[in-house]
Amino acid sequence: MMGCIATNPCVIPLTYCQITAMFLQLLLLLYIHAKIYVMTLYSFLQHLHSGFRYLVLVFIVLAILAALVGLTGNGPYSDRNRKLNLFALISAHTQLLIGIVLYFVSPFVQFTKEAMQQKTLRYFTAEHWVMMVVAIVLITIGHSKSKRAPLPQAKHKAIFVFYLLGLIIIAAGIILIPRS
């Protein structure tokens, strides 16, 4: 066998590290492949929706802080402010779209009389989405008002007030999620 490797120029002997790396890559691929097939659409959307909320919260908090700095320091409303506010708005709307799809595949959304008597089912069927839609409407109003405001202070104030109200409702909606 050793003579075969030495005489065949197409066969390159592998080192122990290369064999180990290939083995670990194979295991990783098998693990990822198994996870993809085990994960249902519901669990994928649930993880996506749950994880994406942190990005939404970061953008909204940054937009609120930038607006507060602009308000207290009489700062100009720069292109950076506009982009940050827009990213916060877009991330919130993206989260809403993920939530809408999740709403229709979730086992916790049921349209029965009994669902309204169970805390978890009632929360996800009726309460959670209403709070989040109200919060995103407030954020959208704040962004719209800031675009139409003539003065930088009015722009900062619209973002600060409406994004803060939206953040409070989002935080309440997250805190009120029933833990079972």
Asked if the structure places residue 138 within a domain, the reply is yes
Asked if the structure places residue 95 within a domain, the reply is yes
Q: Are residues 6 and 47 both part of a single domain?
A: no
- Reply yes or no on whether the pLDDT at 4 is more than 70: no
Q: Are residues 81 and 65 both part of a single domain?
A: yes
Q: Residue 129 belongs to a domain with what CATH number? A: 1.20.120
Q: Are residues 29 and 110 both part of a single domain?
A: no
155 vs 68: CA distance, rounded Å: 11
Q: Are residues 9 and 47 both part of a single domain?
A: no
Mean pLDDT of 73-81: 92
Helix (H/G/I), strand (E/B), else coil: 106: coil
pLDDT reported for residue 74: 87
Q: Are residues 121 and 165 both part of a single domain?
A: yes
- How many structural domains does the chain have? 2
Asked if the structure places residue 20 within a domain, the reply is yes
- Which structural domain range is residue 152 located in? 39-175
Q: Are residues 80 and 44 both part of a single domain?
A: yes
Do residues 163 and 60 lie in contact, with contact meaning Cβ atoms separated by under 8 Å? yes
pLDDT digits (tens, 9 = 90+) for 14-48: 777 777 877 778 777 776 666 555 568 888 889 99
Q: Are residues 26 and 45 both part of a single domain?
A: no
121 vs 162: CA distance, rounded Å: 30
Closest CA to 60 of 176, 149, 169, 154: 169
- Reply yes or no on whether the pLDDT at 1 is more than 60: no
Name the DSSP class of 13.
P
